[in-house]
């Protein structure tokens, strides 16, 4: 059994498998890295996983220090090795925490504030919509004025007819790489609810924008989208 968000039964295969499962994974992450602001000094990453977004952001923001949190010890082990390999261990503070508990201000989950940017990819969709709202509020409170929040996540189709189209976009991506999507999906492990996260709890882009506005994000935008994968967020 794996935690929601670990995705694949074998953590060591995450980096290869995620690129086969999701179209334009690298491009999606690079949209966040580009929009995070190269002058950022203090960045918080939620659900850092194996650190692929962390690396892109560190390359884009030479003066940045990152607080990267993830609840999975297996993922933390992988990112730790990767950061050491790239010589980034001094720039990243790794914390094994549940970002739902952080949003709820539970004791032992303080990681400070005053961030220039908060970023996340493929993690927040594991929270209920109520918890997404609480998390966005906590993010807004943890950002400097004008601080940025960018999140990449799969989105709920706006109407049922789009589901088929979104599925076709995934099938086409796998075919273009000479892969059978079912074989890639067979590598997905079985997860059960862990802490605040459960299997996919997708919301539409509209719902995300409502939650962001309620949390105090005055300017919101979608900076990248490919069918039901989106990168969105805004400025506090």
Ligand X SMILES: C[S@@+](CC[C@H](N)C(=O)[O-])C[C@H]1O[C@@H](n2cnc3c(N)ncnc32)[C@H](O)[C@@H]1O
Residues within the interface to ligand X (CB under 6 A): 3-7, 18, 47-50, 52-53, 69-72, 75, 98-100, 121-123, 126, 195-197
CB of 124 to ligand X, least distance (A): 8
- How many beta carbons lie within 10 A of that of residue 111, not counting itself? 15
Q: Which is nearer to ligand X, 16 or 218 (CB)?
A: 16
CB of 52 to ligand X, least distance (A): 4
CB of 98 to ligand X, least distance (A): 4
| Helix H or strand E segment including 189 | none
Q: Which is nearer to ligand X, 128 or 210 (CB)?
A: 128
- How many beta carbons lie within 10 A of that of residue 187, not counting itself? 16
CB of 56 to ligand X, least distance (A): 10
Angle between helices 25-35 and 14-21 (to 10 degrees): 100
For residue 184, the number of C-alpha atoms closer than 13 Å in the C-beta half-sphere is 20
CB-based burial, 212-228: b 16+ in 10 Å, e otherwise: beebebeebeebbeebb
Q: Which is nearer to ligand X, 23 or 49 (CB)?
A: 49
Q: Which is nearer to ligand X, 187 or 218 (CB)?
A: 187
Query: CA nearest 232: which of 200, 209, 207, 201?
Result: 209
For residue 200, the number of C-alpha atoms closer than 13 Å in the C-beta half-sphere is 10
Dist. CA 197–CA 15, nearest whole Å: 21
Q: Which is nearer to ligand X, 85 or 159 (CB)?
A: 85
């Amino acid at each position: 059994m794996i935690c929601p968000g670990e995705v694949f039964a074998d953590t060591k295969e995450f980096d290869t498998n995620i690129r086969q499962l999701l179209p334009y994974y690298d491009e999606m992450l690079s949209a966040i890295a580009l929009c995070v602001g190269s002058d950022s000094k203090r960045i918080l990453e939620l659900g850092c996983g194996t650190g692929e977004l962390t690396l892109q952001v560190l390359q884009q923001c030479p003066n940045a220090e990152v607080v990267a949190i993830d609840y999975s010890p297996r993922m933390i082990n992988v990112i730790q090795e990767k950061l050491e390999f790239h010589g980034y261990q001094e720039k990243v503070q790794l914390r094994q925490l549940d970002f739902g508990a952080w949003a709820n201000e539970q004791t032992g989950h303080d990681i400070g504030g005053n961030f220039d940017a908060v970023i996340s990819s493929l993690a927040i969709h594991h929270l209920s919509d109520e918890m997404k709202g609480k998390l966005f509020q906590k993010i807004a409170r943890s950002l400097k004025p004008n601080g940025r929040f960018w999140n990449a996540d799969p989105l709920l189709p706006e109407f049922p007819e789009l589901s088929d189209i979104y599925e076709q976009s995934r099938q086409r991506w796998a075919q273009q790489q000479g892969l059978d999507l079912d074989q890639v999906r067979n590598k997905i492990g079985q997860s059960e609810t862990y802490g605040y996260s459960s299997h996919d709890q997708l919301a539409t882009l509209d719902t995300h924008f409502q939650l962001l506005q309620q949390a105090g994000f005055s300017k919101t935008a979608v900076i990248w989208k490919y069918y039901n994968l989106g990168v969105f967020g805004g400025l506090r």
